[in-house]
Amino acid sequence: MKLLQYRDKEIAILPGVYEPAEDSFLMVEAVLREVKRSDNILEIGTGSGIVSMFIGDIARVIGTDISLKAVKCARLNGIDVIRTDLFDGIKFKREFDLIVFNPPYLPSEDQKTDMDVLWDGGSSGREIINRFLDQVKNYLTDDGRMLLLVSSLTGIEQLIEKMRSLDLVVDEIISEKHFFERLVVLRGALR
Ligand SMILES: C[S@@+](CC[C@H](N)C(=O)[O-])C[C@H]1O[C@@H](n2cnc3c(N)ncnc32)[C@H](O)[C@@H]1O
Q: Cα of 47 to ligand 1 centre, how many Å?
A: 5
Question: Which sequence spans correspond to the domains of the chain?
Answer: 2-189
- Mean pLDDT in residue range 122-139: 89
- Report in angstroms the alpha-carbon separations of 42 from 1, 11, 33, 45: 26, 19, 16, 10
Pocket probe mutation, ligand 1, options 22, 48, 115, 117, max atoms within 8 Å of Cβ: 117
pLDDT (tens digit, 9 = 90+) per residue, 162-171? 999 999 999 9
Of the pLDDT bands very low, low, confident and very high (cuts 50, 70, 90), residue 118 is: low
Confidence of residue 110 (pLDDT cuts 50, 70, 90): low
In this structure, the residue with its CA closest to atom 6 of ligand 1 is: 46
Q: Which CATH superfamily is domain 2-189 in?
A: Vaccinia Virus protein VP39 (3.40.50.150)
pLDDT of residue 97: 98
Distance 68 CA to ligand 1 centre (A): 11
CB 22, CB 177: distance < 8 Å: no
> 6-15, 95-104, 109-118, 170-179 — which is least confidently predicted?
109-118
C-alpha of residue 122 to centroid of ligand 1, in Å: 13
Cβ–ligand 1 distance for 18 under 6 Å, the answer yes
pLDDT digits (tens, 9 = 90+) for 10-25: 999 999 999 999 999 9
Q: Which residues, 6+ apart, have CB-to-CB distance to 58 below 8 Å?
A: 32, 35, 36, 37, 39
Q: What is the mean pLDDT of the chain?
A: 93
Mutate to test the pocket of ligand 1, among 4, 66, 130 (most ligand atoms within 8 A of CB): 66
pTM > 0.85: yes
From 4, 13, 17, 18, mutation site for ligand 1 pocket: most ligand atoms within 8 A of C-beta? 18
Q: Which of 29, 143, 30 is nearest to 97 (CA)?
A: 143
Q: Which atom of ligand 1 is nearest to the CA of 67?
A: 25
Work out the pLDDT band at 124, boundaries 50, 70, 90: low
